[in-house]
Amino acid sequence: MAAGEAFYLDPTFWVAGSFVVFIGGVVYAKAHKTIGAMLDERSNAIRKQIEEARSLREETEQLLIDFQRKQRDAEKEAADMVAQANEDAKILADQAKADIDAMIKRRTRMASEKIAQAEAHAVKEVQAAAVAVAVEAASTVLGDALKGKAGTALIDKSIKETGAKLH
């Protein structure tokens, strides 16, 4: 401000005066209470949004924990299923091996029985053939031996022995 100039010509005076009038009008109209109430209301709304966001965050974290637990459980269940399937496969393989071994033993036993039957049949046939040959040979030998007086004497002696054995 220049020396000797009137104070009302100074722009600072008018700015200061306008500010005082403005503040006075605000206080008179109780606008500061309205502004404070509006700010409190806005603060409460922000606080509610923060609480809601915190609640949503906690829910999300809980869901994440639940899903992680479910994933671990599912992985464990899958591993258990694989282990059970492997165990079942081993049991089935062992059972199949035992069944095959039993079938081989049964077929071996049946083959042995057939071989034994065939051997017995062959032995019977050989014995029958041997008996037939022996009878034929005996018939021939006895036929030759029973010719003449010696044969008649032998027959008479056999008849007597047979008669004595029967009585």
Q: Which two tokens stand for residue 90?
A: 């081993």
Half-sphere exposure of 12 (CA within 13 A, CB side): 4
Which one is predicted more confidently, 3 or 64? 64
Q: Tokens 């309205």 correspond to what residue? A: 34
Answer whether residue 79 shows pLDDT above 90. yes
d(CA 84, CA 79): 9
Dump pLDDT digits (tens) for 103-150.
999 999 999 999 999 999 998 888 888 877 877 777 777 667 667 676
Residue 30 DSSP label: T
Answer whether residue 151 shows pLDDT above 90. no
Mean of the per-residue pLDDT values of the chain: 87
Whether residue 109 contacts residue 118, with contact meaning beta carbons closer than 8 Å, is answered with no
Helix residue ranges per DSSP H, 30-148:
31-145
| Residue 166 pLDDT | 66
pTM of the model: 0.41
Domain boundaries, the chain: 10-123
